[in-house]
Structure 1
Amino acid sequence: MRTAALRLAAATLLLAGCGAQEPPAPPTTPTAATRAGDVSTVDQASTERYRYDVNYPALAARDATLAAALRAYGEQRKREFLAAAEGAPRSADTEFVPWELHLRFDVRADTGDFLAIVATGEAYSGGAHGNPVIASFVLHRASDRVVTMADLFADAEEGERALGDYARRELVARRAAARPLDNAELRWLRDGTAPRPENYAVFAIDGDGARPARGLVLIFPPYQVAPYADGAVEVAVPASVFRELLRPAFRGAFEKATQ
């Protein structure tokens, strides 16, 4: 049985198969731990056609808005996966490898002001490797909203440009330590860090429980700024880079620059 490696990445489930149809076997009963106090909730099932497991964290009652967002995302991913897996053709001439979906939600930071969760996983439908799945969910507790990067800034493009400039310098320095970057690689970095919403869809708060937060963690999925083999690439951006560009409601949640 293939064990899928979990990689951080924003990717869609691009699912394919081959051959003649056979009716799927009845699935095993999905299991879910739902009692108060459970460490997590696991939704899982297995048939001869597919296997899936979706792992949800246990969250406090005050974070119900975030819990609902995680559940909605997990259910959407599962529906897409099952629809494709159940309709995939099979061939008598080719050994069929069950499709797999693995997804988990992990707490990345809880600063009091923010609770940040990153979803990572993989959908496998044959081929050399699975398709990475990556997303982030950042709850601003004072407003009880799951916020996007654009929500944080008074001018989203200006904020993303500041983040991108910092990230690009950091990534160039990392890569150049091994060898000089060629023009194609530099264009790749410029495109992947350009001030566009899709480039900043996945992020977390940089904090360890002590508020205010140190900054933001940009999470670039595979292929966005580096080859697939590099996996997801993270850059921590200190609050001093962007704090004055934030909407006033969010500035107090990030530390001020030290003199």
Structure 2
Amino acid sequence: MQPSLAGAAPAVAVDLRDVIETTPDYIIGISYPQVAAHYPPLAQAVHDYAEAARQQLMQATARLHGTKPAAPYDLSLQFSSVVETPRVVVVAAEGSSYTGGAHGRPLLERFVWLPQMQQMLAAEQLIPDAANWKPVSDFVRERLLTGLSQQLDADTAEADDRGQRLQNGSRKIDAGTAPEAANFSRFEPVMNADGSIRALRFVFPPEQVGTYADGKKVVEVPASVLVPLVAPAYRPLFRAG
């Protein structure tokens, strides 16, 4: 959750320095975007996310009790600027953390800062009425099911296997797109040339709506669908068409 900071005390500036640490037990690489430093509350949110990931890695390393892991534990996290306008600033976080097992844990987050409103924007603030998530859910689900069907059509699997994979994939999509704000917490605005928002790109980490091998999934929902659903305070940010 990305809380509103409207009316809060001014945030203390956070020193966002890239991190590189290499030891026999673990490797850490964290890179920050310069844009975040211009907005202290955004910088704080980005730093807190990175620090939480780092602490999880260090706790896992401590549980080794000096035993050398088969492969060094690893945290790779990159923040990048997605949008920077007078009204909307967006930073993306993507990476992974490996602490044993078959593969690393994906790290994926989006941070939306509204400079003129002086607040972070979270999904539950954008669409506060729980019932209004159903049209978003229906739109995203339809797009993901279409993509799954096209993916299976491109494969050369037998018909029986295709049917099973379609059934399994559909169940995963249904669960991951249930009409709840938590399922749509990662989003980034897609901007018009005039600085208004023409769509929201919802981003789903690996395994939320597919398999780990499928990687992240994204679906754009146009402003024409969203405007009737969002809270009145945020509607001026959007322009359909």
Residues 36-185 of structure 1 mapped to structure 2, 5 A cutoff = 41-59=17-35, 62-89=38-65, 91=67, 96-155=70-129, 157-177=130-150, 178-179=152-153, 182-185=166-169
Q: Aligned to 2:220, what secondary structure does the other structure show?
A: strand
TM-score by length of 1: 0.76
Q: Which has the higher contact order (CA 8 A, sep 6+)?
A: 1
Does structure 1 conserve the Cα–Cα contact (< 8 Å) formed by 2:196 and 2:238?
A: yes
Does structure 2 conserve the Cα–Cα contact (< 8 Å) formed by 1:41 and 1:58?
A: no
User: Shift in Å at residue 55 of structure 1?
Assistant: 0.8
Q: Aligned to 2:213, what secondary structure does the other structure show?
A: helix
Aligned residues: 216
Residues 22-33 of structure 1 mapped to structure 2, 5 A cutoff = none
Matched residue type, 2:187: F
Q: Unmatched 5+ residue regions in structure 1?
A: 1-33, 35-39
Q: Aligned to 1:59, what secondary structure does the other structure show?
A: helix
TM-score by length of 2: 0.81
Does structure 1 conserve the Cα–Cα contact (< 8 Å) formed by 2:177 and 2:209?
A: yes
Q: Aligned to 1:74, what secondary structure does the other structure show?
A: helix
Q: Which moved more, 1:143-152 or 1:176-185?
A: 176-185
**Which residue is 1:21 aligned to?**
none
**Which residue is 2:10 aligned to?**
none
Does structure 2 conserve the Cα–Cα contact (< 8 Å) formed by 1:116 and 1:139?
A: yes
Q: C-alpha deviations, 1:108-160, integer Å up to 9, x for none?
A: 223432111111111112333211111111112222111111111241x2332
Q: Given the superposition, is the C-alpha separation of residues 71 and 95 from structure 1 closer, same or farther in structure 2, using an over 3 Å criterion?
A: closer
User: Shift in Å at residue 191 of structure 1?
Assistant: 1.3
Q: Given the superposition, is the C-alpha separation of residues 61 and 53 from structure 1 closer, same or farther in structure 2, using an over 3 Å criterion?
A: closer
Does structure 1 conserve the Cα–Cα contact (< 8 Å) formed by 2:126 and 2:234?
A: yes
Matched residue type, 1:172: L
Does structure 1 conserve the Cα–Cα contact (< 8 Å) formed by 2:35 and 2:81?
A: no
Higher helix share: 2
Q: C-alpha deviations, 1:63-109, integer Å up to 9, x for none?
A: 22111111111112112211221331455xx8632111011111122
Does structure 1 conserve the Cα–Cα contact (< 8 Å) formed by 2:96 and 2:105?
A: yes
RMSD: 2.2
User: Shift in Å at residue 209 of structure 1?
Assistant: 5.9
Distance of 2:31 and 2:171 partners within structure 1: 37
Does structure 2 conserve the Cα–Cα contact (< 8 Å) formed by 1:120 and 1:133?
A: yes
User: Shift in Å at residue 190 of structure 1?
Assistant: 1.4
**Which residue is 1:231 aligned to?**
215
**% of aligned pairs identical?**
29
Distance of 2:131 and 2:69 partners within structure 1: 52
User: Shift in Å at residue 251 of structure 1?
Assistant: 0.6
Q: Unmatched 5+ residue regions in structure 2?
A: 1-14, 154-161
Distance of 1:95 and 1:44 partners within structure 2: 20
Q: C-alpha deviations, 1:185-209, integer Å up to 9, x for none?
A: 2222111111123211211111266
Does structure 1 conserve the Cα–Cα contact (< 8 Å) formed by 2:36 and 2:42?
A: no
Does structure 2 conserve the Cα–Cα contact (< 8 Å) formed by 1:111 and 1:210?
A: no
Q: Given the superposition, is the C-alpha separation of residues 212 and 85 from structure 1 closer, same or farther in structure 2, using an over 3 Å criterion?
A: same
Q: Which of 183, 186, 206 is matched with 1:199 structurally?
A: 183
Does structure 1 conserve the Cα–Cα contact (< 8 Å) formed by 2:86 and 2:116?
A: no
Does structure 2 conserve the Cα–Cα contact (< 8 Å) formed by 1:99 and 1:124?
A: yes
Q: Given the superposition, is the C-alpha separation of residues 209 and 145 from structure 1 closer, same or farther in structure 2, using an over 3 Å criterion?
A: farther
**Which residue is 1:12 aligned to?**
none
